[in-house]
Amino acid sequence: MSPIRIAPPSEASRYEKAIPSEPQVVRRLVLGSFLMLFLELALIRWLGSNVAHLSYFSNFVLLGSFLGIGLGFLVARRSWSVVRIGPGLLAFLAAFVATFPVTIDQTDKSVIYFTSLVQGGPPAWVVLPLVFVFTAAIMAAPAEIVGRCFRQLRPLQAYRWDLLGSLLGIGIFTAFSFLRAPSVAWGLVVAVLFIVLLGAPHRFLAVISGSALVAVLLIECLRPGISWSPYYKVKTEELTRGDIHVVGLSVNGIPHQAIWDAQQRLADEPQYGLPYTHLNGQSLDNVLIVGAGSGTDVAITLLKGAKHVDAVDIDPRIMEVGEERHPNRPYDDERVTRVVDDGRAFLSSSTGKYDLILFALPDSLALVNGASQIRLESYLFTEEAIVSARGHLKSDGMFAMYNFYREDWLIRRLSRTVQEAFGHPPCVDLVGGGQAVVAAGMTEAHQNCGQPTVISADTPEPASDDQPFLYFRGGMIPALYLWVLGGILLVSLIAVRTVGGPLRQMRPYLDMFFMGAAFLLLETKNVATFALLFGTTWFVNAVVFAGVLLVVLLAVEVTARLRTPPLPVVFVGIAGSLALGYLVRPEWLLTLPAGPRFVLAIGLAFTPIFLANVAFAKRFASEADSPSAFAVNLLGALLGGCLEYLALLTGYRNLLLVVLAMYALAFLFRPRSGSRSAVPIPAS
């Protein structure tokens, strides 16, 4: 056994002596945990709104956060501290990104990934490593605060208060999203918490750094046309196209929509009228538009004689911009019903029948937090989604979709998807520049096409609800992803070795490491499942994460207060609940009413989470060095975040098999009954 070296008096030890009573430790722990989760969510939102590359590597900030939190807990065992540098690093990162934002010029439509288009700002190879490293360094500061509090409390007691602080963090951030608070509000919360937590010796530095952070974000929010939705930073600006006045709308630095008169739009871009040319005598008594956005497609449909339009869009702010700025005022028309919802969720809950269903450029440019390959619109373009849309058509109705698809293979994939959903070839209009219109009637007799569409044999298979990766052509995981993930793991390994000492000293915590990896993958699977069942909205996402924290807290309380089965029995329960989740397919639940669907989804998703955290709590409660154990668990979560990309190959259902393998490894490496508790990692 390696002896624990007593650190000499230092800044860090003086810092711990400044918290003499348990209530003070608990208050500090709750505030530190609140700051840790709130800051993580704020970084994900704000960096994603200013660095377009992060729409390509969506969980980059999340992985950096896991590394930083793990390092912070390891630093909490040391005689030195990194807390005081956190606010300064955060202010520097905000100033750098605000000064050199990555924006996209969408004039080149030859490729599909937005980070490959003509861009302004630093290149990906500069920005992404900087974001990852700075995120890790920033997150280490509040994590160290929490880690030092862990050392002064019993393991489960500390974990309980950590969870309560995290719940508070996600609750406040969710409230900010509901209120569409600007980024300066997030920065103000973070700055105040750093000032409170940093303590008297370094409070002046925290005030200076916090003031700089708030100033940077305030300048951003005061720029003309800037507002925030639950998903984006939205910018509107006045433009001219020849002698036409246009309102340009950008989200997260990417040109997204343009607002001008519908009649002029049809004259300049006639492709928006093509779906109506394929109607074969159908009336337009009832029309559904998914991706209604700022209202141009709604205005065009009204020009074409629609008597009623259900206009659905996931983003309330973009619809408000249309209500305020569109010259045709489509959302003021009494024939229009505006619905803020996820398109797939609307199809699942609606009983309406339509003469025309139109998917009108529903390209979100954003991804769901916690599930790195799911875009907000991913579940709208699966074969099951098109089948669902077909079920909402009248007997002579028509379905159509259009967008700037950019890639020929993607147009063919969507055409094949529609063909397999409707049972006959659709009408496909290639407009040029990667634009296309795909339309299909209930039967071929209900669509007016020219030459029948022939889909080549090399067309990729349709995306499915299990693999909703429309923009992934198939085959192996792209080499770019593998290089980036490999770099993340290498940097993480070096950082952990530097801060935590020889890796062999962490061998007693291998089971905790694999538990962390398994739990992150399980959480990712649940985020994907709930997005399918209830929509990819910010609210559903927040409910899932809050629900996970509540179930973990319940597991901790049950373990602390009641006698629970031995670890082998608990692991058998984990395996059984994962097997049940594997056997019950999410699409079966989609056929149920909302109430029963919610109850069953909760049971299937949270039972393995509850049991897994009973196992974690039983294991964690006996630890002599809880910060080290918790750090190794978080570093395992970082591995889980990298393994998440396996879903591109396996689908989300088979990801449960990877979760099962991780828990099996955790069981194999658990401390045996009668053996000593894991040896604390020596501090220095």
Summarised one tens digit per residue, pLDDT across range 475-510 is: 888 787 788 888 889 999 999 888 888 878 778 899
More confident residue, 119 or 149: 149
Question: Which CATH number is 18-226's, of 1.20.1250, 1.20.120, 2.60.40, 1.10.287?
Answer: 1.20.1250
The answer to whether domain 18-226 and domain 481-675 are alike in fold is: yes
430 bridge partner residues = 436
Crossing angle for the helix pair 626-643 and 594-621, to the nearest 10 degrees: 140
- The residues near 587 (Cβ < 8 Å, ≥ 6 apart) are 384, 465
3-state secondary structure (DSSP) of residue 532: helix
Cβ–Cβ < 8 Å for 655, 521:
yes
Look at residues 23, 161, 58 and name the one whose alpha carbon lies nearest to residue 557: 161
Of the pLDDT bands very low, low, confident and very high (cuts 50, 70, 90), residue 416 is very high
User: What amino acid is encoded at 298 in this protein?
Assistant: V
DSSP of 119-183, one letter per residue?
A: EESS-HHHHHHHHHHHHHHHHHHHHHHHHHHHTTS-HHHHHHHHHHHHHHHHHHHHHHHHHT--H
Rounded to 10 degrees, what is the CA torsion of 361, 407, 278, 439?
-70
> 614: alpha, beta or left, given left = phi > 0 and alpha = psi -120 to 50?
alpha
pTM score of the predicted model: 0.88
First to last CA, the chain: 16
> Tokens 């889980």 belong to which residue?
640
Cβ–Cβ < 8 Å for 131, 47:
yes
Task: List the CATH code of the domain at 271-363+383-446.
Answer: 3.40.50.150
Of the pLDDT bands very low, low, confident and very high (cuts 50, 70, 90), residue 116 is very low
Residue 281: the pLDDT is 81
Q: Please give the biggest Cα pair distance in the chain.
A: 87
DSSP H helical ranges for 288-371: 296-303, 316-325, 343-349
pLDDT at 684 over 60: no
Cβ–Cβ < 8 Å for 627, 467:
no
Task: List the CATH code of the domain at 481-675.
Answer: 1.20.1250
Residue 337: the pLDDT is 96
Average per-residue pLDDT for the chain = 86
Q: Over 27-78, what HEC string results?
A: HHHHHHHHHHHHHHHHHHHHHHHHEHHHHCCCCHHHHHHHHHHHHHHHHCCC
Measure the CA–CA gap between 265 and 5, rounded to whole angstroms: 74
Positive or negative, the CA dihedral 228, 230, 233, 238 is: negative
- b/e per residue 601-616 (b: at least 16 CB within 10 A): beebbbbbbbbbbbbb
Cβ–Cβ < 8 Å for 364, 333:
no
- Condensed to tens digits (0 to 9), the pLDDT of residues 24-56 reads 999 999 999 999 999 999 999 999 888 877 766
Domain parsing of the chain, residue ranges: 18-226, 271-363+383-446, 481-675
- The segment with the largest mean pLDDT, out of 113-122, 221-230, 244-253, 373-382, is 221-230
Cβ–Cβ < 8 Å for 628, 680:
yes
Residue 242: the pLDDT is 73
For residue 445, what are the CA distances in angstroms to 276, 424, 450? Answer: 15, 10, 12
Measure the CA–CA gap between 73 and 465, rounded to whole angstroms: 38
DSSP H helical ranges for 353-508: 383-390, 408-422, 479-500
Residue 119: the pLDDT is 58
